[in-house]
């Protein structure tokens, strides 16, 4: 773990406003997303491809429509991604026994090997990303993010 701290803008005396925090979080999230995709892009894998493989792995044998909604992509996009992964032997389409209009996806043996690479890259890159934080800072950040997510989810339910 690195003992060096990234340079941050000087702290203001007054507490930051909600708008300042939201903007800082959005900027950080954008930077994290771009940085997180780098190890995959270096291997020629798109972030969309990686996210689709991880989503199928997490869901088991999901319907394509469920994944489309979960990933927030169009039907055409998921079809193109699945076509490419199927051509590489990483995914296969299966009939849905409960709904003949639906197609389910499953990961092949070769796909599971590919997932192992994805997960190893992710773990190493995440340690690099968060290596700037000590154990207490990591715990505090995780707690704050969990609390913020729960608060926002509660507010969304009211709307």
pLDDT class for 123, splitting at 50, 70, 90?
A: very high
For residue 68, is it within any domain?
Answer: yes
- Residue 69 confidence (pLDDT): 87
Mean per-residue pLDDT over the chain, rounded = 90
Domain count, the chain: 1
**Any domain includes 147:** no
Q: Which helix (H) or strand (E) holds 107?
A: strand 103-107
**How far is CA 33 from each of CA 6, 37, 39, 76, 126, rounded to the nearest angstrom?**
18, 6, 12, 23, 11
In a domain? residue 148: no
The reply to whether 146 falls in a domain is: no
CATH number at residue 68: 1.10.10.10
pLDDT at position 2: 47
pLDDT tens for each residue of 21-48 = 999 999 999 999 889 889 999 999 998 8
Q: Is residue 21 part of a domain?
A: no
How much is the pTM?
A: 0.75
pLDDT for res 146: 96
* Domain interval for residue 68: 28-133
């Amino acid at each position: 773990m690195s003992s060096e701290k990234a340079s941050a803008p000087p702290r203001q005396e007054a507490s930051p406003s909600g708008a300042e925090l939201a903007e800082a979080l959005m900027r950080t999230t954008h930077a994290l997303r771009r940085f997180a995709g780098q190890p995959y892009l270096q291997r020629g894998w798109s972030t969309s491809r990686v996210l689709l493989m991880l989503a199928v792995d997490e869901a088991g044998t999901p319907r394509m429509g469920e994944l489309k909604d979960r990933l927030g992509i169009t039907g055409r996009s998921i079809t193109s991604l699945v076509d490419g992964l199927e051509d590489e032997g990483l995914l296969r389409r299966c009939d849905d026994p409960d709904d003949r209009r639906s197609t389910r996806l499953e990961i092949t043996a070769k796909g599971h090997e590919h997932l192992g690479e994805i997960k190893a890259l992710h773990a190493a890159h995440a340690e690099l990303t968060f290596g700037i934080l000590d154990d207490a800072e990591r715990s505090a950040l995780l707690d704050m993010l969990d609390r913020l997510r729960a608060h926002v989810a509660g507010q969304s339910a009211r709307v």
